[in-house]
Structure 1
Amino acid sequence: GVFTTLVRALGIPKVEVVELYDIEPWATDHLGSPIGLIFCFLYQKDKHRPREFRDSAGERLWFANQLCEDACASQALLNIVFNTDVEIGGTLAAFKADTMEMSPVMRGLAISNSLPIRAAHNALARYTSPTTRQRQRSDIQSADDLEETYHFIGYIPAHGKVWELDGLKPGPLEVGEMNYGGSGAEGWMDVVRPALRLKMKKYGGAEEGANIKFNLLALVNEQYCNASDELELAKRKRSQLERRLDAKYPQGWQGQVRSPLSLS
């Protein structure tokens, strides 16, 4: 619900965010093909610094580095929607156009300095009073005393591959290739599923004892829009059928069928 509210605050219509309770097919197949996934986990700082790399396909993606430590949720969402064909509204469309030629670092800086994006994010942020923040700083003795930090990353299908979009990494990471050419999204969940399992194992799986603090969200077409589209399709099919019946039975056919359903 919070993410869907953030989506609306950013001006993105016709999509919503739903929670997934498992990564297995029984828990995801009913969604068809999600637009993207957002994975949340208890963050542990990597001991090694990732090397810079270049991927010709990855460079075609819109990707921003995370420069603000408490904005990874909004960052993951933007990294997803800017690489899909969903309607993003005028404000984000202008922002994407203005930052298209920028480097990932400069895009991250642009996100931090964008008043509309900052306002949408802060409207849903947890408030901490200045007094509480000062007390927390005085109580911290070492890095181990910091409260648990959660990190959000995105997954999308694009350019025939599945990508992990982590704002703390230098660029998009290729998860795997889809087993067909083109840029469609059918079946990409089968590619991303092993990557999610590895991520859960790396950051503490249940078999090792304790940390199962993960959350998986899917960005999907809004259910109301889907139902509305299905209704409009049913209306058109009904209209076509009635025209054919009118042509075949010019004297009238309504009396030969049971009371028809009204699709007003």
Structure 2
Amino acid sequence: MELRKAPIPLRCELTLGVVLKASINRNVREHMKETFSKSSVSCLMRANLRTIKGQELNAAEGKDDPCWQVTQQLHFLIEKSMSSRYQKEISSAVKGQPNRKVYGQKIQSWESEKGLAFLQNVELSDGELVVPQAGLYYIYSQTYFRHTLIEEDESEREEEDGTSGESVRGKPMLQYVYKKVSSYPVPILLMKNARTTCWSRDTEYGLYSIYQAGLFQLGGGDRVFVTVSNISTIDMDEKSSFFGAFLVS
């Protein structure tokens, strides 16, 4: 009976021994972790002091130095992190869309065959003149604006001045001429003209025109188009609003 009970204390001792061993291993790991952390900080401080004193180790001397290995790993991680960050910024800058925009509303309803309109050695596509060959071109454009006084405008004027006599109101009109090239992502402004309208409140409408022209170097396949500040005010009569280009040399 006693011989059968003898293994029980031994089993308890083995269990206790495992607990003690696990506790010792955990303490050793914590001590090693703390020692490594302190040694790493010490290495960085020593490396900093060496840099200040001009005593940096070369690659051959530092291979066997644990501190040299720590600092090299830290430098590698810093360089990798900074390289990844700047690479993302550069990529986003390259892929970003241009901030420049086209001003005004493009006129698309040009007539190319009827009446006074004609095309010769150029094409009309989506309201844009397409030139077939490179050269110096004379580009011209005129737009005719018809402004009408609506009730909303009259009520706004009365609220602003409190009068109903012969006071006037100015309305800005703008015309832009752009060119599109295949090598640039956004249209390029060639010409811009502006005018301010004034009329008496008793008039029903006002008629005004803007004309501009110039010589520009164009490449084969370049496109030219016209935009205005308010396309709803444009009178598209063939004798009033027109747009064209011809090759000079």
Q: What is the TM-score of this pair, normalised by structure 1?
A: 0.21
Higher RCO structure, 1 or 2 (CA under 8 Å, sep 6+): 1
Q: Which has the higher strand share?
A: 2
Q: Which of the pair is proportionally richer in helix?
A: 1
Larger Rg: 2
